[in-house]
Amino acid sequence: MASILSTRFLNITIASFCKAKNLEKAEALLIDGIQLGYLPDVVTYNTLISAYCRLIGLDAAYPILNKMKEAGIMPDTITYNTLIVGASRGGSFNRSLDLFEEMLQAGISPDNWTYNNLIHCFFRTGKPETAYSIFLDMASRQLCPSSTTYNIIINGLCKTGNTGSAVKLFRKLEGLGFSEIVTYNILIDGLCKAGRLAEARKLLKELGQSGYIPNAITYTTVMNCCFKSGKIEQGLQLFSEIKSKGYSTDIFVYTTVISALSRLGKTAEANAFIEQMMSKGIAMDVVSYNAIINNYCREGNLDIAFQLLNEMEERGLKTDEYTHSILIDGLCKAGNVEAASKHFHYMEMKGFHSSLVARNSLVLGFCNAGRVDIATNLFNEMEIKDPFTYTSLLHGLCKAKNYRSAYKLLLICLKNGIKVLSATHRAVLLGLHITGLWKERRKLRAAIRKAKFVKY
């Protein structure tokens, strides 16, 4: 009895250190506990594995599995489920499958949670066939799929562009008496994102007739889709329905309407909704300000956008990286790169030093302004770059007819698996042809052909 109580106390204390993100003390306590005769169990090691996966990553968590085995404690289903989630969270989707195979070879039976995580993992990586094969394996082991399993599959099918298959599965499940509000919301969202507004509205109507009550999320999803499809009246009608049914018209609902109206150039109507929101005592937050600032920047109304920035700061709202990136992008698109550069320095003074979005906007802005030398300097200073960064500079170099530099940069992209547009490839090849750089053109064409056969 004393041993059990001691182990339980050890586990509680280790869990407390892990929760406080103090992994060194947690490990030190485990060593001290063993020396004092407080023997750890599978829960002790599972707690540590979970903390390492969450705070550092799978590579740091996996060695604990070996320590566990050395201590004579066999891992269980929870151990491997935690590692599989850790691999998925870190983007190591193939590693998740390896861990699943390792789990089976160790004779540890997977459960619903194991399969749900794997199915979700492979839908996320755009491999619906693998996800479906895992689902079939689940059925072969006579594990009954839960509502969560089906919701993951329907959501995954929608996310991978298989909305038609998601609808068929939903109808099949509906025929078997399975349906719930979460499933409806997932499918409605998927239909909206696929541009199938009529079907989404039909499903919303069905939901109301099914005995389930659509919630504000359901209505807001379809309402947002209406606005994006240019069906303003339908969107506003749904907003009225939300209010008439007594749902809470919170800041998210209002921001959806205000953003849509601002984006469509209906500034007066958007302002009317802002006043209506304020009269209800709903205060604007950073997200709603960002949405509205973004729309004013798109319209080229930068004066109003900066007025809103001043208003935010006067109200004591803490602006975020996105706020300033929107404004920098707006200034660049308006051709005012000097002001954009000044605002970028202001942004850095505010403590935002690593905004890739803002830096990308500046690189493109200076390229469009014909100042490729400044764009190149910015590019060289950037520690983190993405395909958009490379494409922007390549575009600028071609525009400045500096094809030799464009050729060298594109070779780097091809060598490192950085994907840029095919149109950019053609622009550089054409430039090399026009300027008579035949040798470089041949080398580049060979590199492009080679890259097509290499998977990065």
CATH number of 41's domain: 1.25.40.10
> How high is the mean pLDDT of the chain?
87
Same-domain check for residues 36 and 137: yes
Same-domain check for residues 87 and 129: yes
Q: Which of 200, 232, 247 is the last residue of a domain?
A: 247
* pLDDT greater than 90 at residue 315: no
Predicted confidence band of residue 2 (pLDDT cuts 50, 70, 90): very low
Predicted confidence band of residue 3 (pLDDT cuts 50, 70, 90): low
Same-domain check for residues 187 and 129: no
Model's pTM, two decimal places?
Answer: 0.61
Same-domain check for residues 180 and 127: no
Q: Quote the tokens at residue 52.
A: 């390492």
Q: What is the mean pLDDT of residues 287-302?
A: 82
Q: Which of 203, 226, 247 is the last residue of a domain?
A: 247
Same-domain check for residues 137 and 69: yes
Asked if the structure places residue 349 within a domain, the reply is: no
Domains identified in the chain, total number: 3
Tens-place pLDDT, residues 185-202: 899 999 988 889 889 888
Provide the residue range defining the domain that includes 233: 171-247
Of 226-230, 418-422, 425-429, where does the model show the most confidence? 425-429
> pLDDT exceeding 90 applies to what percent of the chain?
37
Asked if the structure places residue 314 within a domain, the reply is: no
pLDDT at position 453: 60
Same-domain check for residues 12 and 131: yes
* pLDDT greater than 50 at residue 286: yes
Asked if the structure places residue 73 within a domain, the reply is: yes
Q: Which of 34-38, 71-75, 153-157, 332-336 is predicted least confidently?
A: 34-38
Asked if the structure places residue 66 within a domain, the reply is: yes
Same-domain check for residues 8 and 137: yes
> pLDDT exceeding 70 applies to what percent of the chain?
98
Please identify which residue in the block is written with the tokens 């969202």.
189
Predicted confidence band of residue 267 (pLDDT cuts 50, 70, 90): confident
* pLDDT greater than 60 at residue 309: yes
Same-domain check for residues 212 and 124: no
Q: Which of 247, 278, 308 is the last residue of a domain?
A: 247
Same-domain check for residues 179 and 120: no
Tens-place pLDDT, residues 39-90: 889 999 999 999 989 888 888 899 998 888 888 899 999 999 999 988 887 7
Q: Which residue has the higher pLDDT, 284 or 170?
A: 170
Same-domain check for residues 46 and 121: yes
Same-domain check for residues 130 and 181: no
In contact, 403 and 437? CB cutoff 8 Å: yes
Asked if the structure places residue 188 within a domain, the reply is: yes
Asked if the structure places residue 366 within a domain, the reply is: no
